[in-house]
Structure 1
């Protein structure tokens, strides 16, 4: 398995000045702080950079590129912040799956990664890793590493736009890789606490027979995977998917709630979702976020093996432990 080139052990008193510099944009957030902590524990030279507040009315990749080209001072500031860095990891953005569309949402989730990629090129960074979301593929029967996206909400559309903008930009010397994170859970995350409460309640249910694979994952495995991708010295595809942690829809609820979920007829679950999404569409997608969470609880979503499986870079699954710990 490929690991980040950080020669110092966690217990080292100092890190050589020749060691690679890692930059984390958005290190104050849930995933960003976990990435920063893992790098620090591994003895890396890590630098935190605050993300600029951006907003845009652009709704396609070409228009987004034009907006990014005009952000001269913001790009210059990021280029200076990335000086002498080997790797830049973007963990910034608005993690608001239920939010409505806004210039701020598109600025944080679509325009920012494009601006960072341009600055990383200018600064001579070896690799830029952008954290996206598997939500960009929406209701597809399976998740994969293809460019095919089916966004279904304002949040997933903004994330998909960011991916598309990176895909069509004029590439420079920096290797740009997008990591599609799945449904990430971890200690202290409100989403995880809500999942634990739901799993322990009578509402915990799955579509029969309850064996469908679930993309629910652990922040620990995601961080390990991000650092492996970032530190890999060979080529990496432009889009990679966070590997499946072997969870099923039933095992997720059992681990988080300590009880077996109710098994509902699949036809009943599909009917409820069809009706719910129709009503939500009439209400401006107001309920798309909660409905998607119910859909994932009932049916999950299969993941196709990708780069991680082909190269032996699958991190150790830890989602069961994270969910069991969330009960308290």
Structure 2
């Protein structure tokens, strides 16, 4: 697949631009596709798929862009963890992925890689590739719904293709696209849809990275206890490399894969981003404060759930089951330390006098 044309939707965004740069460095021919802006308040996967199928004009526009393409990477979406207005979130993170998958199937695209977020799993101790999600905010719900929609579409496409009635083929009730120049889609063709759950991705120019560097450089930098704990904090470079490796993987892809762990711990990321040693707080105190924060947030309509969750991850971290990536030698180069140190330098904040490294 490395010799074919690849398309990246959302190529100008934080993640998309990193992916395009990585693909270009590997001499992969890549074209940018502009992401249409969609709004919806439909929060049911089946209804959302029906709504997506009715967007003929947008399906045609995307399908025309996908003509002759082997791989489509969807790096678009609305990354707004604290936003509460669901219409743009659901439109960008759930409805648009459905439209992209439908257009790709009806144009004969071989593979769709969709960038999701590990936030869909909620406060679990270990991030996994399970389809079961526990969203805790409007943002994580929209990303979880986008995953559910794509998993349902993947199953439907595979089932119909096994019967020789794949969407876009002559045997299907769903027509090929674009309508003015329909692609030739075989009855057994099934686009391979794979969801990549990105972890806590950091990089230059990202507000969350700047905010993390500010906290790490202050007296608020702290961890729970003294036992090293894995953290899902990662770099945009590693994510882009992983996306490229998954998209070009020669074998069959699972429905969901996790961005691999970059070797960082709760303490190491604070040291890299703050150039100071964090405080080691008693574990019972941290657990009590987190529990209290969630209760207060619940009383206030869950408006504090996002910030409380970020503090919880800073203190306790979160493990990652990246066994599939490791078994298939797809683990990218670790660059999170480099990214966080660059973020600290960009702040112009002095390193703590006690810090010797």
Displacement over 3 Å in runs of 4+: none
Of 77, 85, 104, which aligns to 2:69? 85
Matches within 5 A, 1:37-116: 37-116=21-100
2:189 pairs with 1:203: no
Give the number of the structure whose alpha-carbon radius of gyration is greater.
2
Question: 1:118 — aligned with what?
Answer: 102
For residues 135 and 210 of structure 1, the distance between their equivalents in structure 2, rounded to whole angstroms, comes to 24
Aligned residue for 1:171, secondary structure, equals helix
2:215 pairs with 1:229: no
For residues 318 and 212 of structure 1, the distance between their equivalents in structure 2, rounded to whole angstroms, comes to 18
2:280 pairs with 1:263: yes
What value does the CA root-mean-square deviation take over the aligned residues?
Answer: 1.2
Q: CA deviation at 1:322?
A: 1.1
Question: 2:187 — aligned with what?
Answer: none
For residues 30 and 41 of structure 1, the distance between their equivalents in structure 2, rounded to whole angstroms, comes to 17
Q: Judge which range, 177-186 or 117-126, deviates more.
A: 117-126
For residues 297 and 77 of structure 1, the distance between their equivalents in structure 2, rounded to whole angstroms, comes to 43
Asked if structure 2 preserves the Cα contact closer than 8 Å seen for 1:213 and 1:302, the reply is yes
CA 1:111–1:72: 2 relative to 1, 3 Å: same
Q: Which runs of 5+ in 2 are unaligned?
A: 159-189, 346-357
Query: Per-residue displacement from partner, 1:57-86 (whole Å, max 9, x unpaired)?
Result: 211211111111111111111111111111
Question: 2:139 — aligned with what?
Answer: 155
For residues 90 and 334 of structure 2, the distance between their equivalents in structure 1, rounded to whole angstroms, comes to 32
For residues 337 and 87 of structure 2, the distance between their equivalents in structure 1, rounded to whole angstroms, comes to 37
Question: 1:245 — aligned with what?
Answer: 262
TM-score by length of 1: 0.93
Of 316, 323, 329, which aligns to 1:299? 316
For residues 210 and 55 of structure 1, the distance between their equivalents in structure 2, rounded to whole angstroms, comes to 45
Aligned residue for 2:238, secondary structure, equals helix
Q: How many residues align?
A: 312
Question: 1:178 — aligned with what?
Answer: 195
Aligned residue for 2:330, secondary structure, equals coil
Q: CA deviation at 1:306?
A: 2.7
Q: Which runs of 5+ in 1 are unaligned?
A: 6-18
CA 1:318–1:204: 2 relative to 1, 3 Å: same
2:298 pairs with 1:312: no
Aligned residue for 1:327, secondary structure, equals helix
Q: CA deviation at 1:92?
A: 0.5
For residues 304 and 130 of structure 1, the distance between their equivalents in structure 2, rounded to whole angstroms, comes to 19
Q: CA deviation at 1:44?
A: 2.0
Of 229, 242, 246, which aligns to 1:212? 229
TM-score by length of 2: 0.85
